Amino acid sequence: MIGRGEDVDELVAQLRAGVHRILAAPRRTGKSTVCRAAIARLADGGAYTVSLSLFELTSTVSLAERMAQLTLANRGPLARLVERVRAGGEVVLKGAALTLSVKATAELGEGVEVALRPGSAASDPHAALLRSLGMLERIADLDSRPLVLFIDELQEIADGDYGDGHRILKELREILASSPHVTCLFAGSVEHLMRGLFTNRQRALYGFGGFHDLTPITEPEWTDGLAARFAEDHTHVDADALERVVALGRGHPRCTMLIAQQAHVAIVEQGSHHVDLSAAERGYRGALAAERARHADGLLDVRRLSPGALRVLTNLAHETPPYRNLEAKAARRALDALATAGIVNRGTGRGEWTITDPLFIDYLSVTLPHP
């Protein structure tokens, strides 16, 4: 990582002290990387860890199974059995495996069944999820280990794919609040939804943990970090080229790294190990080309969102007020839809909104006519 060391240090310190933390930031800004780095350090320090992404798990059954499996995987012998199950579906438990399963069930409860018998959760997905949640505290208490639960893209639970989102979040809080050995790290890429989950008094998770805001990566951190990355391939990069890459990336982690990567590709194709200003510009053009298909799909999604969404996005891409040429209510609905889709993010000032991806801005400014 570049420039995120303090974020990782702070998260590790808070989680190690048993303080629940929430991290809300737009997609592709490094939040998941920071969280995973913190979780890895805690695991190295002896904590049990369970890491889940609700972008990867799309049903209550898959969530319950994965949570139970990763909980059991904190124990060496059970980890090997879990890997067999995940690799090949249901395993016929016999001999030592059967003995291990029976012993684990007696100690940890029916969540073991959810982990080791894929498909068993389908008969009652909600009950299976509760069993998996309950097993977190059981294994941590029994083994006298702190356990850190990391759930990425938590806001997806509220969308309904997992059943009654309000009910699940309510029971999630009830179980975790009575789990003294379990500390939670929640992350999400739709900031207004995440803040609503934890700051709205009507929501089940109100006040359950404090927010951690990612610190901006400074220009010196970018230049030093990128120079070190290039040096790993024995590549020299000019100071003005570094400054150009950082300026074109506009502080966005993924965009900056992609431009730097494409600049490196450009010189490798020429058999060179020297990044100059021309290579930096080629890197920028290469990044735009690499993202063109994704940007085209994103624009198509915007056209499907809601009336006014395309107009709002056009305004923002050309640095004009989002409400321009739109009725106020229609503009607000469009902004909410764009924010929920992770395309725009609310700024710090009143009525301030920004497009989250700088390269998408550049694509839109060329593709969409000025309003």
What's the confidence (pLDDT) of residue 176?
Answer: 96
What's the confidence (pLDDT) of residue 68?
Answer: 95
What's the confidence (pLDDT) of residue 349?
Answer: 73
Residue whose entry in the numeric block shows the structure tokens 């990612």: 214
Residue 54 main-chain phi, psi, to 5 deg: -80, 0
What's the confidence (pLDDT) of residue 307?
Answer: 80
Same topology between domain 218-290 and domain 306-371: no
What's the confidence (pLDDT) of residue 94?
Answer: 58
Collapse the DSSP code of 24 into the 3-class scheme (helix H, G, I; strand E, B; otherwise coil) and give the result: strand
What's the confidence (pLDDT) of residue 99?
Answer: 74
Superfamily of domain 5-211: P-loop containing nucleotide triphosphate hydrolases (3.40.50.300)
Domain 218-290 has CATH 3.40.50.800: no
What's the confidence (pLDDT) of residue 192?
Answer: 87
| C-alpha 315 chain-centroid distance | 28
- List the domain boundaries for the chain: 5-211, 218-290, 306-371
What's the confidence (pLDDT) of residue 98?
Answer: 67
What's the confidence (pLDDT) of residue 350?
Answer: 76
What stretches in the chain show pLDDT beneath 70? 88-98, 160
What's the confidence (pLDDT) of residue 351?
Answer: 75
Fold of 306-371: Arc Repressor Mutant, subunit A (1.10.10)
Structure tokens at 189: 């890429």
> Cβ-count burial of 201 within 10 angstroms (0-12 exposed, 13-18 middle, 19+ buried)?
exposed
Q: Which residues pair with 346 in a beta bridge?
A: 353
Collapse the DSSP code of 371 into the 3-class scheme (helix H, G, I; strand E, B; otherwise coil) and give the result: coil
Instruction: For 235-255, write each residue's pLDDT tens digit.
Output: 999 999 999 999 999 999 999
